[in-house]
Amino acid sequence: MPDKPLQEQDFEPALSLGPLTLAYLDEMVEIENLSFASPWSKEAYRKELTENDLAIYVGIFYGSHLIGYAGMWKVLDEGHISNIAIHPNFRGRHFGELLLEYLKQQAILNRIERMTLEVRRSNISAQRLYKRFGFTFAGVRPHYYNDNNEDAFIYWLEIEK
C-alpha cells in the first residue's frame, strides 16, 4: 500500500481524442497559424464549428490542451477532409495518424464510404502519412493553391467494411 493517497499531480497528462468544440477555438487558430501558409481565419473556424451541419471536426488533446485537429465535410457518402494539423512541438510522433484513424471512425459512424483530400505537391511528409494510412494517389489539380500557384495532389481512401 502506498503511504499517501494518489494526487492529481502524480499523473502525466493523458492523450485523448474527441469532438472539437468552440472551447478550443483559440488553440485551434494558433495551431492553424503555425501550420499553414494561408491559414483559415478564426471566424471561418467559428462558422465551421457552429453553423456548418456537414462539418465533422475532431481534436487530439494532451491533458486539457488541444495539440491537433482535423475536419471533414460529409458530401453524400464521401468525406472531404478540409484540414489536418498537429502543433509543431508535437509532430513526428504519429499523432497525425491517430487523428486520421479517429476521423475515419467518425466517418464510419456517419455512413461515409470513402474519404478524400488535397495536399500540396511539396508537402512530402503529409503525403507519406496519407500513403502509410492507405490513401491512394488519384490525380493532380494544377495550380490549385492561390498563394503560390502550387499543384494539389488528390488522394482517396475507400473505407473497408
Q: Which three cell numbers stand for residue 25?
A: 477555438
- Sheet of 152-158: strand order equals 15-19, 55-62, 65-75, 78-86, 114-120, 152-158, 136-141
When asked if residue 116 is in the footprint of ligand COA (CB under 6 A), the reply is no
In 3D space, the residue among 157, 160, 161 whose CA is nearest the CA of residue 72 turns out to be 157
- Residue 4's alpha-carbon distances to 7, 11, 141, in angstroms, are 9, 14, 62
Tell which positions 76-95 bind ligand COA, by CB under 6 A. Answer: 84-86, 91-95
Which position among 9, 38, 125, 146 is part of the footprint of ligand COA (CB under 6 A)?
Answer: 125
Closer residue to ligand COA (CB): 25 or 135: 135
When asked if residue 154 is in the footprint of ligand COA (CB under 6 A), the reply is no
When asked if residue 131 is in the footprint of ligand COA (CB under 6 A), the reply is no
When asked if residue 119 is in the footprint of ligand COA (CB under 6 A), the reply is yes
Active site residues: 118, 130
